[in-house]
Chains A and B, each alone.
Chain A
Amino acid sequence: MQRIGVFICWCGSNIAATVDVKRVAETIKSEPGVVFAENYQYMCSENGQQLIKQAIREHNLTGIVVGACSPRMHEVTFRKAAEEAGLNPYMVEIANIREHCSWIHKDMEEATEKAVILVRTAIAKVKLNAPLTAGESPVTKRALVIGGGIAGIQAALDIAEAGFKVDIVEKNATIGGRMAQLDKTFPTLDCSACILTPKMVDCAQHENIDILSYSEVEDVKGFVGNFHVKIRRKARYVDETKCTGCKLCMEKCPSKKGLNEFNMNLNTRTAIHIPFAQAIPNVAVIDSTQCLKFKTGKCGICQKFCEVGAIDFTQQDTFVERQYGAIVVATGFKPIALDNFNEFGYADNKDVITSLELERLMNAAGPTNGVLLRPSDGQHPHVVTFIQCVGSRDTSGCGKPYCSKICCMYTAKHAMMIREKYPDTEVHVFYIDVRTPGKNYDEFHRRAVEQYGVDYIKGMVGKVYNENGKLMVQGANLIDNEQVTIESDLVVLATAIEPEPSVRKVATLLTASIDTNNFLTESHAKLRPVESPTAGVYLAGVCQGPKDIPETVSQASACAAKVIGLLVKDKLKTNPCVAMPDEMMCNGCSQCANVCAYGAITYLDKEFRIGGGKTEIRRVASVNPAVCQGCGACTVTCPSGAMDLKGFSSKQIMSEVDAICKK
Chain B
Amino acid sequence: MTKEERMENLNRLSGTDVKKCMKCGKCSGRCPAFKDMDIKPHQFVSMLARGKVDELLECDAIWNCLSCMACVERCPRGVAPAAVVEAVRDTVVRMQGKNGIKAEEIPPIVDELIPQQLLVSAYRKYNK
What residues of chain A have their CB less than 8 Å away from a CB belonging to chain B? 343, 389, 393-399, 432, 458-463, 474-476, 478, 481, 483
Contact = CB atoms under 8 A, between A and B. Distances in A.
A381 B20 CA distance: 37
Contacts of B28: 459, 462, 476, 478, 483
A461 B29 contact: yes
Contacts of B94: none
A434 to B, nearest CB: 13
B68 to A, nearest CB: 12
Contacts of A459: 24-26, 28-29
B78 to A, nearest CB: 5
Contacts of B27: 462, 476
Interface in B55-108: 70, 74-78
B42 A483 contact: no
Interface stretch (B1-9, B30-38, B119-127): B30-38
B25 A460 contact: yes
Contact of A462 (B23, B43, B70, B78): B70
A396 B78 contact: yes
Nearest to A462: B30
Contact of A483 (B22, B29, B75, B77): B29
Given A462-B74, A475-B29, A483-B31, A393 B42 contact: no
Which of B25, B28, B70, B78 gathers most chain A CB within 10 Å? Answer: B25
A21 to B, nearest CB: 44
Given A462-B70, A483-B35, A476 B25 contact: yes
Given A343-B74, A399-B76, A478 B20 contact: no
Contacts of B77: 393-396
Contacts of B42: 476, 478
A395 B29 contact: no
Contact of A432 (B23, B43, B78): B23
B128 to A, nearest CB: 31
Nearest to B75: A396
Which of A343, A461, A462 lies at the interface centre, i.e. has the most chain B CB atoms within 10 A of its CB? A462
B26 A476 contact: yes
B76 A395 contact: yes
A460 B29 contact: yes
Nearest to A483: B34
Given A394-B77, A395-B76, A398-B76, A478 B30 contact: no
Contacts of B70: 462
Q: Which of A394, A461, A483 has the most CB of B within 10 A?
A: A483
Contacts of A398: 76
A394 B74 contact: no
State the main secondary structure of chain A at its contact with B: loop
Contacts of B78: 395-397
A383 B71 CA distance: 27
A445 to B, nearest CB: 18
B94 to A, nearest CB: 29
A478 B20 CA distance: 18
A394 B26 CA distance: 12
Nearest to A474: B29
Contacts of A399: 76
A71 B109 CA distance: 78
A458 B25 contact: yes
Given A399-B76, A483-B35, 7 more contacts: A395-B76, A395-B78, A432-B23, A462-B29, A462-B31, A475-B25, A483-B29
Contacts of B30: 343, 462-463, 474
A178 B23 CA distance: 32
Contacts of B24: 389, 393, 432, 459-460
The 6 closest A-B CB pairs, nearest first, are A462-B30, A462-B29, A476-B25, A460-B26, A476-B29, A475-B29
Contact of B76 (A393, A475, A483): A393
Given A460-B24, A475-B29, A483-B34, A394 B76 contact: yes
A475 B27 CA distance: 9
A478 B26 contact: no
B39 to A, nearest CB: 10
24 contacts: A343-B30, A393-B22, A393-B24, A394-B77, A396-B76, A397-B78, A398-B76, A458-B25, A460-B24, A461-B26, A462-B26, A462-B27, A462-B28, A462-B31, A462-B74, A463-B30, A476-B25, A476-B29, A476-B42, A478-B23, A478-B25, A478-B28, A478-B42, A481-B43
Nearest to A343: B74
Contacts of B34: 483
Contacts of A478: 23, 25, 28, 42
A483 B20 CA distance: 22
A461 B28 CA distance: 9
B107 to A, nearest CB: 35
Contacts of B25: 432, 458-460, 475-476, 478
Contacts of A476: 25-29, 40, 42
Contacts of A396: 75-78
B29 to A, nearest CB: 3
Contacts of A343: 30, 74
B42 to A, nearest CB: 7
Contacts of B23: 432, 478
A397 B78 CA distance: 8
Contacts of A461: 26, 29
Nearest to B72: A396
